[in-house]
Amino acid sequence: MYESRDFSAMPILADALQDAGCDRADILDHCRGPGQHVRGCWVVDLVLNKG
């Protein structure tokens, strides 16, 4: 997402996070929400920094 700046897969990220056991509504709602996502998205940063 960061390289291509294409955040259209955010709902898919939400599904993957949920499948992995994430139950935080703030994260899942943000990924599935209608807003425009940009580089520096706090959820993507959180995922990348957890690795």
How far the first Cα of the chain sits from its last, in Å, is 16
pLDDT in tens, 1-51: 878 888 899 999 999 999 999 999 999 999 999 878 888 889 988 888 865
Q: Helix or strand or coil: residue 36?
A: coil
Helix, coil or strand: residue 31: helix
Report the alpha-carbon distance of residue 51 to residue 30 in Å, rounded.
Answer: 20
Element (H, E) at 10: helix 10-19
Give the per-residue pLDDT at 17: 96
Q: Provide the whole-model pTM.
A: 0.82
> Which contiguous run of DSSP H or E holds residue 17?
helix 10-19
